[in-house]
Every structure is written in structure tokens, then in C-alpha cells.
Amino acid sequence: MLTLGCARNEVDSEELAGRLTSGGWELVDTDDGGADVVVVNTCGFVESAKKDSIDTLLAASDSGAKVVAVGCMAERYGAELASSLPEADAVLGFDHYADLAARLDDVAAGRSIESHKPVDRRTLLPLTPVQRPAAVAKDDVQVPGHGWGPTKVMRKRLDTAPVAPLKIASGCDRRCSFCAIPSFRGSFVSRHPDEVVAEARWLAEQGVRELFLVSENSTSYGKDLPRELGGGSALDVLLPRLAEIEGIDRVRVSYLQPAETKPGLVKAIATTPGVAQYFDMSFQHSSESVLRRMRRFGSTDSFLGLIKQIRELAPEAGIRSNVIVGFPGETEEDVAELERFLTEGMLDAVGVFGYSDEDGTEAEDLPDKLDADTITARVTRLTALVEELTTQRAEDRVGQEVVVLVEHEEDDESDCVGRAAHQAPEVDGECVIVDAEDLKVGDLVRCVVDSSEGVDLVCTPIEVLPRGGPR
């Protein structure tokens, strides 16, 4: 099982691993060879991710094993991908997931499988959000990671890391003009909170200490749930339940939409014991004119007001975002406005991406496209500014105490590496703990920050905390 893309895909791969194991298949390490079938969980988000998916499928075919493509790229392109990539023995969509073990039986036996035929998955669920969970529960529509029920977890861990993603919802109802995700991931639907808590308990039993809550839009969680389950404030209610689970020391929320981030949610993340003071905000830009063309809401001043609200409750909270530059019609004044936001906002981590057309999106047909050289120059310019600002933000943490979850040892074994509360997996830098001979993976360690290197922190350990200690 090979996984590309985001943490949501990681959850889907572990669901598929669980289904395959219960269906009689045995998972093997690709480094050991000997696989009969290689399942590649593809990413279809942007052009570079698609290329990585194709390269991985081609490399898998070189192993001599049968190759099956699943995931977002397979769902998005289906038969088109199959016709252009004969090296794949099958291209399967989300609707195949429930019977994937049987489909792999077919592949192994040399039986042909009709390739997935893509549809706009927004059309498969009811238009009214409150009707969607019932449709998923009845298996009317297959949504990866949904409908397992509160007593059964259809998931098999593919690693032993002390942090694990946990899906709280799928799909998105927003219509951002640059994004194709809703068309192949579908409309927004929340998981039942009891189902989420049951999976969280199972993850704790597997040794997980940090839960990383993922979805396409976490701020919409609960809008399709009845009032008795929290309704539009369901995430505020869910977070304390997850934080109270025995063995779980940190709960982290990802994928927040600024325009939907209400004061109650800000307070829940900033003040609930066991919840990381961490805000993954999808700003994308700050110029009002660019945001409107993106079909988004907000402005530099409204975003700065949200940041102020966060830091009044949690001054050391981690705030990160991604921004897109070079969007059709973006002017120098728009770029200057984004620079003002980034300079005054002083975020902990920012990803800077150059705009590129995505198949089937509204932005693909917008006028006033910028040339590639201009987009590249703006990415370079904004990246340099971001590196300066985030480096300063990290330097400001020198002398402070942080609590670090140890995730792996360095090669010389005298140091180890982990993350503090303001750092999410893979994207926000890390903490290097020096003189850490007695520490092991999974330890939660109170440290003092001695220095910084870019966004990374260098720390000295003070004490190892027991489970349920300070976060």
C-alpha cells in the first residue's frame, strides 16, 4: 500500500488496509518485495501531485507486481487515466472501496475490471446537508472513512507513529474558483461524533498520543448534524470529548476556514486542556479583490482581527496558512496588500504557491491570466518575505518552554526530533532535542528552547511527562 498526498489520504489507506486484511489479503513491506499487488493511493490535487502519482504507479509496475490505482487521481480521471496508463492493471474509484478485497482477487487472477467512470460527486448526496449523514449510513453513497458505526473501526495502522490523523468529515460545500476537490470528494458530510470518539479510543489503544483531526473543511463540522449532537457548534463539543480519552495527550485541528471560524471555536481550541493551541487557517490571500475572484470572503483587516482574537486568548498559539500568488487579475497592489497582511500577522508557518489552472474549475476560464515568469517572480518574492518573518517568529520562542512529542531519533542517537504544540506534522518545522539519550519515540517532554534554525527549534529536555500531563 503506497500513499501519496495529504493526511486524509493516509486515513483512507489505513481504512483500505483494514478492509483488505479482513478480506484475506496480507500487507507486506514494499522494501521486502514479493507483493502480488501494489495499491497506490493517488493524489489529484495539483499538477505536481499528479506527476508524483504517475511516477509512483510506473515505479510500482517495474516491480513485476500487479498495480491498482485508487485515491483522488483515480476518482477524478478514472477511465481517462486507465487509457493513458496501461501499466495500471485497474483504476478504481471510491465506490470500489467497500469491495476492494474482491477487486484485488480479480486483478490477481487476471480478470479485467471496468475502469471507474468519474461523476461530479456533489450530485450523489442530497442537496440539504442534514439529509446527507443518513444517505451515507445506508450505504447509498460510498464516502471513505464514514459509516463504520461507533462499535467497529475498519482501520489498520500502517506505522507505529505516536501521532495519527483522524477524519471528522469529508467533502466541501464551498465553491472556491481555483479548487476542484469538491467535484471528486463530494459535498460536505460530518461523521457522527460517537463514531469519531470510538476511532480515537482505538487509536489510543494503538499507542497514539496525538490526534490530528482532518477534513476538507473542519469549521463546517456539525452543520449537517442534529441540534442534540451540537449542530453548528459540534466541533466545540467534540474537542473536549477527544481530549479526555485516556492515553491521548494532544488533539490538533486542521483545515479551518477563516470566514467560518466563530468565537466559540477559537475559544475551544485556545483554552481546552489537551487541545493544541494551533490554528491552521486557510487564508489563501488577503486582498479583497483577489479573494472575491477566488469566491472567498475576508480581507487583510478582518484576518488580522481574527489573529488578534486568537492571540488574546493564546499568545503563543501556532498559526499557519497557505497563500496563492499569481491568481488571474492579481495586481502589484494586491501583492502589496498580501505582504502587509503577512508582515503584520507574523504567522508561524506559511506555504507560498504559484497559481496554476486546474481542470474543470471556474478559474481555468478567468481572463487576465499572468504569465509564468511573473508568477514565479512573485512566488520567489513572497517566499523570501515569509522565510524572514517565520524565522523571526521562531526566534521569539527562544527561552520559552515547550512540550514536545518525540517522533524519531537522529542518526547519532544523542538527539531526537519531535514537535511542539504550535507545529503540525511535516509542514511547520520541528524541535530537535539535544542530549536526549534517555528519551524514546512517543515520549512527551517538557523542554526549554535554546535556539532556532529557520522555523525549527533546538531544545534541552527538562522532564518527561506522564500521560495526561501538561500539553
Please give the biggest Cα pair distance in the chain. Answer: 63
Q: Is 431 annotated as a binding residue?
A: no
Q: At a CB cut-off of 8 Å and minimum separation 6, what does 342 contact? A: 286, 323, 350, 382, 385, 386, 389
Q: What is the DSSP string of 139-180?
A: TSS--TT----TT------SS--SEEEEE-EE------TT--
d(CA 401, CA 30): 40
Q: Which DSSP category does 89 fall into?
A: S
Which value, in Å, is the radius of gyration of the alpha carbons in the chain? 22
Say if residues 269 and 277 touch (Cβ distance below 8 Å).
yes
d(CA 218, CA 4): 21
Residue tagged 515505479 (cell numbers): 59
Q: Which DSSP category does 435 fall into?
A: S
d(CA 382, CA 351): 10
d(CA 356, CA 314): 36
Q: Is 447 annotated as a binding residue?
A: no
d(CA 425, CA 418): 9
Q: How many CA atoms lie within 13 A of 370 on its CB side?
A: 21
Q: Is 416 annotated as a binding residue?
A: no
Say if residues 222 and 230 touch (Cβ distance below 8 Å).
yes
Q: Is 459 annotated as a binding residue?
A: no
Say if residues 334 and 290 touch (Cβ distance below 8 Å).
yes
Helix (H) or strand (E) holding 190: strand 189-190
Residue tagged 451540537 (cell numbers): 230
Say if residues 284 and 294 touch (Cβ distance below 8 Å).
yes
Q: What is the DSSP string of 312-327?
A: HH-TT-EEEEEEEES-
d(CA 420, CA 428): 10
Where is the binding site for [4Fe-4S] cluster, in residues?
A: 6, 43, 72, 172, 176, 179
Where is the binding site, in residues?
A: 6, 43, 72, 172, 176, 179
